[in-house]
Amino acid sequence: MKAYTNNQEITLKVNGENYKVVVKPNETLLNVIREKIEMTGPKPGCENGDCGACTVLVDETPIKSCMALAVDMEDKAITTVEGLKNTEIQKAFIDKEGYQCGYCTSGFIVKAYSLLENYEKPNQDTVEEWLSSNLCRCTGYEGIERAVNKVIKNR
């Protein structure tokens, strides 16, 4: 049985790179990515699983990193928005102004990227179901929708 007590070194694979970090079991994945790996793409918003600003992929599945323990993530492939540089969806968010203040943008990009990896041409119900996991407090949803639809249209 694997046991994690107090401070312990673990290896997290983030965006294809291995990072050795010393963590305690009470540290969330969000906290470790931001504070110890120093990738600030995933954002602390509500830290209660509501807003989606902290969304990352774990083994290609989107999760909210504020509700995951870092010690539970060894041997898994983690992707943050930093790992989605120059992807079609990132470019579409820029082209279609899928952001206002930008705080929620990384979570939306990660979630939208996963949606478009899972569906070649998702219908609007599927887009809505997937993206309603994330909140934009500026209410900039139209730009986000335009960005996602641009990628779908180009396929």
Partner 1 sequence: MISFDFDYYQAETAEEAVEKYLELVENNKNVSYYNGGTEIVTYARKDKMNFDAVIDIKNIPECTVLEENNNKITIGASISLNEVVEKNYFPLLSESSKVIADHTTRNQITIGGNITGRLPFKEALLPLLVVEAQVKTYGKEGFKTRPINEVFDKRMKLAKEEILIQIIIDKEKTKLPYYQERKVKQSDTDYPIMHMAALKDNGNIKFALSSLCAFPFRNKEIENILNDDSISREEKMNQTIDNFPVPINSNLRGGKEYKEMIFRNSLNDCLDQLRGEK
Interface with partner 1 (CB under 8 A): 1-6, 24-28, 31, 47-50, 52, 55, 61-64, 66-69, 71-72, 111, 129-130, 132-134
Min separation Cβ 124 and partner 1, Å: 14
Shorter beta-carbon distance to partner 1: residue 15 or 134: 134
* Structure-token pair, residue 51: 């807003």
What are the helix (H) ranges across 74-136?
88-95, 105-118, 124-131
Min separation Cβ 22 and partner 1, Å: 14
Min separation Cβ 113 and partner 1, Å: 13
Using alpha carbons, select from 112, 104, 120 the residue that is nearest to residue 146: 112
Residue 123 vs residues 104, 129, 143: alpha-carbon distances, Å: 23, 10, 17
